Amino acid sequence: MSASVGIVLVSHSAELAAGLRLLVEQIGSDTVPLATAGGTDDGRIGTSYDLVLAAIRDADRGAGVVVLPDLGSSVLTARTVLEDHPSTDVLIVDAPFVEGAVAAVVTAASGADLKTVADAAKEARHVHKL
């Protein structure tokens, strides 16, 4: 089987990112490379440029990477990393954090390409819960 699109979860909270990773690992089994960048380098609430960059590199297995930030400065930090390290194979996606991650992992696990995985995450915004 060829490499799967990687997913990076960027959050202000290491615990939030780790919890979402545990959830989506149940869906994507071990076929989807997952990495998290949660909190600051010293474990506080916030975001870290270095953790985001390391997570992108960790999740990249050659099929591209979808970066899903939670909100605010995690978006700004992820965008700055991508501006400093431009790549057509790494996409930041404006999607709901939990629903977008689930959709991205399910789609990546099916062997879909980078654009299809990114689109699935974006489309999760329109899925009604009730």
- Angle 68-72-73 from CA coordinates, rounded to 5°: 90
Dist CA 70 CA 64 (whole Å): 20
Q: Are 104 and 117 in contact (CB under 8 A)?
A: yes
Active-site residue flag, 128: no
Q: Are 13 and 45 in contact (CB under 8 A)?
A: yes
Dist CA 71 CA 73 (whole Å): 6
Which residues are the active-site residues? 12
